[in-house]
Amino acid sequence: MSRPIKNAPGAPAPESLPECQRILRYQFQRPELLAAALTHASAVTDRSQSNERLEFLGDAVLGLIICRHVYELFPADPEGRLTTLKSAVVSRKTCAQVSQTLGLPGYMRVGAGVARAGRLPISLVAGVLEAVIGAIYLDGGLEAARPLVLRHMQAWIDRYAASAHQDNYKSMLQQYAQRTLGRTPEYRIVRESGPDHHKSFHIQVCVGAREFESATGPTKQQAEQQAALRALAALGVLDPAASGSEETPGGE
């Protein structure tokens, strides 16, 4: 995987640093830290002047912020699931996607050989994001780095959590609704049909004043899971087609 280079090799133009800071929504007290974060090893003769050390630091800062966030966000999840989620969020692939979305590769200083290639490898694109996080941490501390990380990583957390929580849509909806909407989902039995030995339960979920499409299942638990899935799909959190919307996941 590679990414296009926007800028020619050379030091980041002084006027580009304020523009980069606007994109990051962070004003550096020491802009030289940002300049260092944007400098690839191919552009300098002394590797200590590159962004490698900042990338090392930023990787740890990113991991800590995500670990704490998912720890608080999913209080019922076991360690194994939290580890899987964290690993996906801080992966090279995800970091490269966020870096590209921010446009960080376009502000980088790279060597002539890298520039001639015309495209940047995924490791370099991901690495500059980590280096920038490290620079912000050194400049303003953990609380300065946290907003940038969560602003751009929350959507990925939601996406990966959707996959990890497919066996319990009710749990996922509750966590999302409480965090995003400040509400707790309520499940209502719309009606019951069929004989006692072969009943069908029609259940609708509501979050505040918003009502979602009802769902049907042979038990209340299964109907509630399907109703939660439909709500998640309506909220844009989960793609039912990708999740097997007709398959009822495990109960509560």
What one-character-per-residue DSSP string does 215-250 give?
EEESSHHHHHHHHHHHHHHHTTS--HHHHTTTS---
Assess contact for 27 and 98: CB atoms under 8 A. Answer: no
Q: Could you say which DSSP state residue 8 is in?
A: P
> Distance between CA 105 and CA 179 in Å, rounded?
32
Catalytic residue, from 15, 32, 52, 59: name it: 59
Catalytic status, residue 59: yes
Of the candidates 156, 136, 155, 139, the one whose C-alpha atom is nearest the C-alpha of residue 24 is 136
Name the 3-class secondary structure at 44: coil
Catalytic residue, from 55, 130, 158, 224: name it: 130
Assess contact for 137 and 147: CB atoms under 8 A. Answer: no
> Distance between CA 77 and CA 75 in Å, rounded?
6
> Distance between CA 236 and CA 159 in Å, rounded?
10
Q: Which helix (H) or strand (E) holds 16?
A: helix 16-24
Catalytic status, residue 130: yes
β-sheet bridge partners, residue 206:
186, 211
Tokens of 111: 């060597």
Q: Could you give the residue numbers annotated as active site?
A: 59, 130
